[in-house]
Amino acid sequence: MLMNDLENVLFTEEQIREKVKELADAISNDYRNRDLVLVGVLKGGVIFLSDLCRMIPIPHSFDMVAASSYGSETSSSGHVIITKDVELPLKGKDVLLIEDIYDTGNTLRVVKELIEVHSPRSLEICSLLWKEKSSRTDIIPIKYVGFRVPDVFVVGYGLDFNEKYRNLACIGVLKKELYK
Ligand code: IMP
Ligand code: MG
């Protein structure tokens, strides 16, 4: 069982559902009469995107970009590669980037620059998790944040370790002995 690999559960399936609904309500309210396009960051953001979009009742479309910054390690390499661009035209659209976690911010910085090239009317970010770090330079403003998490390695609900644990319905802290 994947659950046995967790040190502890940070957010249960139920808590995540409530939070996603809360974010969806705020987004639906803010983007009424706009031309919303959700852009999910693969692969971590895909579970969040699929739940979130179904809780947003206003008309919108979605697309995805893929960025990769983690190899098999549990700390950011600082080197981000875009492996997939968006397919929808974003010119004049109100783009909301959907990410699983803000850690160093390197991924979102690069993805944001990529989206800006497509000339959207507006560009904001929604991240389910925000990792609390003692030192951070150059913080990218995030319009919607779900939960704050301590500076530990978390898995579940799209977040992986070596491509595993994405299918966990909850979010938890991975046992250190599994990657140390
Ligand atoms: P950043 O570029 O350092 O902000 O890292 C963002 C990406 O790294 C996220 O999209 C995740 O895919 C991955 N990541 C960062 N922290 C964690 C974690 O605690 N668990 C799993 N993946 C993480
Ligand atoms: Mg990711």
CA dihedral sign, ordered 89, 94, 97, 98: negative
CA gap 140, 129 in Å, rounded: 14
Residue 103 a catalytic site member: yes
pLDDT in tens, 62-96: 999 999 875 556 666 678 999 999 999 999 999 99
Each domain of the chain, given as residue ranges in start order, spans 2-178
Across 22-131, the runs of DSSP E, i.e. the strands, are 36-42, 61-68, 81-84, 94-102, 122-131
pLDDT in tens, 10-42: 999 999 999 999 999 999 999 999 999 999 999
Ligand 1 is surrounded, with C-beta below 6 A, by: 41, 44, 69-70, 76, 99-107, 153-155, 159
User: pTM for this one?
Assistant: 0.94
Tell which atom from ligand 1 comes closest to the C-alpha of 152. 19
- Give residue 158 CA to ligand 2 midpoint distance, Å: 8
- Residue 159: HSE in the Cβ half-sphere, 13 Å Cα cutoff: 23
CB-CB contact of 168 with 3 (8 Å): yes
What CA dihedral angle connects 40, 43, 46 and 47, to 10 degrees? -150
Tell which atom from ligand 1 comes closest to the C-alpha of 104. 3
DSSP 3-state of 155: strand
Fold of 2-178: Rossmann fold (3.40.50)
Residue 136 binned pLDDT confidence (cut-offs 50, 70, 90): confident
pLDDT in tens, 45-57: 999 999 999 999 9
Q: Best of 39, 46, 102, 103 to mutate for ligand 1, by most ligand atoms within 8 A of CB?
A: 103
Measure the N-to-C terminal CA separation of the chain; round to a whole number of Å: 20
What mean pLDDT is predicted for residues 131-136? 85
- Give residue 91 CA to ligand 2 midpoint distance, Å: 24
Residue owning the nearest CA to atom 3 of ligand 1: 104
Model pLDDT, residue 38: 98
Output 129-134 pairs: Cβ under 8 A, ≥24 positions apart. 129/100, 129/101, 129/102, 129/154, 129/159, 129/171, 130/101, 130/102, 131/101, 131/102, 131/103, 133/103, 133/104
pLDDT in tens, 100-127: 999 989 999 999 999 999 999 999 999 9
